Structure 1
């Protein structure tokens, strides 16, 4: 497809903004519309569960760009407009206000919706954390709370529990895993993270399912475990993951399977691309589809989408990466650890609280690297993963003259 005359980016997220910026950086001068459901300008989400919740950052500090920088992009910023339908054939998006927006290229960057457990909604004192408004409401109640139960032991749940504990609140974290973030870190490292939380006073309830809430006068008073035990709480945070924001695409004609299905170019259909948490793309290095939920992926994938809109035809083959800061520890993970992987400490000392761990599969091939308070060294060990995740493109031999 030739360079489009106009581009519509649905989702004023980190990914959506990065697509817009990279189009301009590459010299694109066509019309760009950035459509966002929230009223606020694009902001960063990772600080919400840490700096914003703790109060060390004001909300304004999460803004990804100043107003002057946004204006310099010469893009139409349509905020407070929720997309409700897409016609993929005509590349037309309809919004809740009734507007119809059409463009030669459309980028879907709508991210996630916070998942809510049945029975844990509609009660005062029960929160999720996905947006800037969510963080503000949660912080306000955390400052008054005495006992908090965090339902969910993934990245977000562990970060919220850590932040609340540092604020002096009594915290219990409940989750189905054997240890916090076990799915992301594997058994050995997750146990170390569990020990870190326990040392700081977080009460852990591993291998535990939640059955419902206890309430009084419409306000939560406790969380009921599957075995019937009640955990007292005057504040509950549900952090049980997110679902790709694809509900508005049901009748679009696009393939949807835990995200918007894309090829290796992050293309969902002719002239339609996806980037960020909502995109499920074919990873040529792994030979399978993948959907990544992290800030780094949002930016890197958006850069590639912008390039492909302009005709560069590049495959997206990232080394997956995420980080988390909890209780004075910075954890960085490159690759995709699995619970079955064997873990070797390749640098540093676990007893000193600074180390790099390498994960290898049953054939002894490295599949992931983790740094625990060793960011520089972890980046260096990342190089060992390139052959698996981001192999060099195959170069066809030159034709032999006849």
Structure 2
């Protein structure tokens, strides 16, 4: 790659920022333009529902790179950049005012946007969402005032916000149509553990019901559920999932299906256009296709896309990984389980120090370690091995995980 070439990265989140870093690390000396819609330099999102939201971390801790990084590495970071389109025929990114930015290769890293509830009262004051640092700053200030918080959604964002708010001393109610928190990802049995964790910390859980309306005069005062109950509220946080931002890709003619379709090199169907992060629905050697919305995926997939933009031709085959901290319970999840036929515990869930595995036909699809550390590598090796495991030995904490892997080093 020569200095005459221009690489444009659309999206200045973690994936885009790490892609720009990787381009320079790999020796690319051409022009790198990093376009971000927000007025902040790239930052990481996990602290926004955890330590930064609680006021335990300073603002500087959330950023991907120090303030001077982009100038020092000759990366043109443009914040508040409104990208209107991609002209694949002319190889140009179209900005506001019909300004056109030519590219030799481009990376789409546009992330995701929160789902919004379309119910009466959704536009009342004191109804919050949490996606950006600006959202977090507003919510952080409001939480510092205390009061009665109602969280809509018991997925990862909802559960983490609820835990942070309880830690700060707020009265917290969580409402979700699922039977237990995190049911879609963890299933009823493991989700029940998180139900009990939150209940033990004083969270009121209203599960198996949805939200019909937010009520109040100027600001939210009550939440009405679909089963007719009413919950008094001083503020509400809506965390009901996100949708990939695929509008630019779709308008440019890229193949889109639950995200932007990419191959195992993260190439889209458009010539010399790649995708990474929340929007990338990528081929994977173990799981066919995966679109992963977690921090680790953005952290690693952005640089992988950058290296393939440079022609290094390396498949992206990392296992999905994510983590969550709620109260004094930390967890790491490795792998991907959408359809399993057995769950195996290693250790007693009642102690909240255990590992749980999801299996199909005797093979481990995913594992989650809760307050047990330094086991992600052997869990990953078990998943990659595709070995049929001895369930009794898998459940036995005295049997090293590495011994269960058939022919794969942990």
Tell whether the structures are fold-level matches, with TM greater than 0.5: yes
Q: Distance in 2 between matches of 1:113 and 1:4?
A: 35
Deviation sequence 1:99-119 (CA, Å, 0-9, x none): 221201000001011111112
Q: Distance in 2 between matches of 1:2 and 1:386?
A: 38
Alignment partner, residue 216 of structure 2:
215
Q: Distance in 2 between matches of 1:2 and 1:14?
A: 26
Deviation sequence 1:349-401 (CA, Å, 0-9, x none): 3233211112111x111111110011213433221011359xxxxxxxxxxxx
Deviation sequence 1:259-300 (CA, Å, 0-9, x none): 11112211112100001011111223222x211001111121
Contact 1:81–1:97 (Cα < 8 Å) also in 2: no
Alignment partner, residue 11 of structure 2:
11
Report SS of the residue matched to 1:317. Answer: coil
Q: Distance in 2 between matches of 1:258 and 1:4?
A: 35
Q: Distance in 2 between matches of 1:230 and 1:91?
A: 54
Contact 2:3–2:30 (Cα < 8 Å) also in 1: no
Contact 2:2–2:30 (Cα < 8 Å) also in 1: no
Alpha-carbon offset, residue 89 of structure 1: 2.4
Alignment partner, residue 164 of structure 2:
163
Deviation sequence 1:161-220 (CA, Å, 0-9, x none): 11001110000111121111111212221111110000000111111111111112x210
Q: Distance in 1 between matches of 2:113 and 2:16?
A: 16
Q: Distance in 2 between matches of 1:140 and 1:339?
A: 41
What is the TM-score when the length of structure 2 is the normalising length? Answer: 0.90
1:97–1:42 CA distance, 2 compared to 1 (3 A):
farther
Greater mean deviation of Cα atoms: 320-329 or 118-127: 118-127
* Aligned pairs, number: 385
What is the TM-score when the length of structure 1 is the normalising length? Answer: 0.92
Alignment partner, residue 385 of structure 1:
383
1:228 aligns with 2:216: no
Alpha-carbon offset, residue 147 of structure 1: 0.8
Deviation sequence 1:220-267 (CA, Å, 0-9, x none): 011111122111111000001111112234421112222111122111
Q: Distance in 1 between matches of 2:134 and 2:123?
A: 17
Alignment partner, residue 356 of structure 1:
355
Contact 1:19–1:305 (Cα < 8 Å) also in 2: yes
Alpha-carbon offset, residue 56 of structure 1: 0.5
Report SS of the residue matched to 1:375. Answer: coil
Alpha-carbon offset, residue 132 of structure 1: 0.4
1:70 aligns with 2:74: no
Alignment partner, residue 59 of structure 2:
59
Report SS of the residue matched to 1:43. Answer: coil
Q: Distance in 2 between matches of 1:138 and 1:388?
A: 44
1:354–1:378 CA distance, 2 compared to 1 (3 A):
farther
Give the aligned CA root-mean-square deviation in angstroms.
1.8
Q: Distance in 2 between matches of 1:351 and 1:122?
A: 41
Unaligned 5+ segments in structure 2 are 388-410
